[in-house]
Amino acid sequence: MAGQVININDVPVGKITGREIRDIFNKENTGDAGISLRITDVMPGKVTSPGHLHRESQEIITILSGTGDIKIGDTVFPLKANDAIFIPEGESHLIRNTGDNVMRMVCTFSTCDTASDLESDDSIAF
């Protein structure tokens, strides 16, 4: 498939507990590129519950705006704009927005099929 340009404002918004997501690049529009890109907006005061893990993919998150925390396993890390986070495959994680504004993140996965790679983990909480 040839290269393509997608404007995030043209992508349908999905709603998941505490957040809105826009799947910019995935299996449906890249074929099978082995990588995907999502914009996630965590609403003020919300937690992206339940916690979850990606069984066979790694994730890199870059915070574009807002503040919050990410819990990876048992460790909590503070988040602010311009922070980048690496999450190895199989690591449970959970994010909360601690600010008064939307926390916008760019999430990149080492898979093009995030739905089949996702597993909920109710044991992780803030």
Say if residue 1's pLDDT is above 60: no
Arithmetic mean of pLDDT over the chain: 93
Q: How far apart, in whole angstroms, are the C-alpha atoms of residue 53 and residue 36?
A: 16
pLDDT of residue 44: 98
Q: How far apart, in whole angstroms, are the C-alpha atoms of residue 20 and residue 55?
A: 22
pLDDT of residue 41: 98
In percent, the amount of the chain with pLDDT more than 70 equals 98
Q: Which residues of 91-108 are buried (b: 16+ CB within 10 A; e: fewer)?
A: ebbbbbbbbeebbbbbbb
pLDDT in tens, 46-88: 999 999 999 999 999 999 999 999 999 999 999 999 999 999 9
Q: Would you kindly state where each structural domain of the chain is located, as residue ranges?
A: 13-120
- 13-120 homologous superfamily: Jelly Rolls (2.60.120.10)
Tokens 């404002």 belong to residue: 9
pLDDT in tens, 34-45: 899 999 999 999
pLDDT in tens, 103-115: 999 999 998 888 7
